[in-house]
């Protein structure tokens, strides 16, 4: 059975219909619930279940880089036997948006966002201290837009 086949209509609508242009609201899940004709609790529990099943990793806004605060792409060269542990350490920092493995000498990459350059420098230093490995900071020089939405097979 295809993994997509186990999704119900509500799950498919949540995954597809709210990738862009969510309302800026104090009650965004209530807004989604109203649009889909279900209760807010159902939306929250369904999103939680989709996250638990690995369909989504996070729900939140994506801001244009360096419009709110400052950010950098960072990379680390981590021995394979330490990679998972160091990735978990990095993920504990609230300033880290995501991290991922790459097939390269610098095999662990992540984005760090902070309210100021000073705070960003502190966080990068703390990551190095906790991970016990140096990092390379790669601040953005030129801005490119990448649409993070996906065409889903049932859409």
Q: What is the DSSP string of 86-107?
A: HHHHHHTSTTEEEEEE-SSSS-
Rounded Cα distance, 105 and 125, in Å: 21
pLDDT at 42: 97
Output the domain CATH number for residue 89.
3.30.70.3460
Note down the domain range covering 128: 70-138
**Is residue 114 one of the residues assigned to a domain?**
yes
**Is residue 153 one of the residues assigned to a domain?**
no
Let me know whether 33 and 79 are in one domain: no
Let me know whether 75 and 33 are in one domain: no
Quick: pLDDT tens for 10-22. Answer: 999 999 888 877 7
Quick: pLDDT tens for 68-121. Answer: 788 899 999 999 999 999 999 999 999 998 889 999 999 999 999 999 999 999
* Entry pTM: 0.61
Report strand pairing: 96-101 vs 108-114. antiparallel
Q: How many structural domains are present in the chain?
A: 2
């Amino acid at each position: 059975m295809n993994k997509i086949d186990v999704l119900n209509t509500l799950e498919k609508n949540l995954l597809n219909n709210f990738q862009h242009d969510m309302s800026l609201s104090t009650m965004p899940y209530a807004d989604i619930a109203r649009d889909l004709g279900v209760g807010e609790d159902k939306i929250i529990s369904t999103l939680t279940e989709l996250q638990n099943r690995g369909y989504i990793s996070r729900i939140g806004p994506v801001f244009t880089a360096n419009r709110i605060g400052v950010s950098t792409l960072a990379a680390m060269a981590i021995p394979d036997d330490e990679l998972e542990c160091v990735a978990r350490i990095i993920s504990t920092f609230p300033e880290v948006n995501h991290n991922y493995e790459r097939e390269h000498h610098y095999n662990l990459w992540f984005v760090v966002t902070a309210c100021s350059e000073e705070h960003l420098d502190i966080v990068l230093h703390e990551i190095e201290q906790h991970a016990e490995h140096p990092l390379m900071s790669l601040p953005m020089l030129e801005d490119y837009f990448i649409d993070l939405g996906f065409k889903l097979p049932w859409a």
